[in-house]
Amino acid sequence: MNPSDDNSGERITEAEQAVMEVLWDRPRQTAAEVCEDVCTTRDWSLATVKTLLSRLVQKGALAAEPDGRRFLYTPLIAREAYVGGESRRLVERLFGGRAASLVAHLAESEALSAADLDEIEALLKELRP
């Protein structure tokens, strides 16, 4: 599978994404190492992390490489590709495929600060020829 491929099969849940974030930051970790990062803040057990890792392997999002009696987990999906796919799905599902409608909604609901608007404006200027 191409690491930039965002069509990895089944969608990744919010809990699975938390595990992916850890592995995107530091690939090739064991279940115990992933648990060190997420178990306390999420009140999860090692068994929970192992279940999530197993699901992600089944979905084609992670590779599990045997390393003695344990496995090292590595993402098969690039974070940028995942975020891009999720962003497109959000805009399509909630705003009929129109990104401008998303930005308008965020502005109207006061979810965008003046700094956010400045960043968006600067980005638009960069994107225009």
Give the sign of the dihedral formed by CA 35, CA 73, CA 6, CA 112. positive
Q: Are residues 1 and 59 in the same domain?
A: yes
Q: Are residues 63 and 5 in the same domain?
A: yes
Residue numbers of the domain that contains 129: 98-129
Q: Are residues 78 and 120 in the same domain?
A: no
Q: What are the tens digits of pLDDT across the range 7-63?
A: 445 789 999 999 999 999 999 999 999 999 999 999 999 999 999 999 999 999 999
Give residue 129's pLDDT band: very low, low, confident or very high (50, 70, 90): confident
Read off the CATH number of the domain in which 5 is found: 1.10.10.10
For residue 22, the model assigns a pLDDT of: 97
Helix (H) or strand (E) holding 113, with range, is none
**pTM confidence score:** 0.74
Q: Are residues 48 and 86 in the same domain?
A: yes
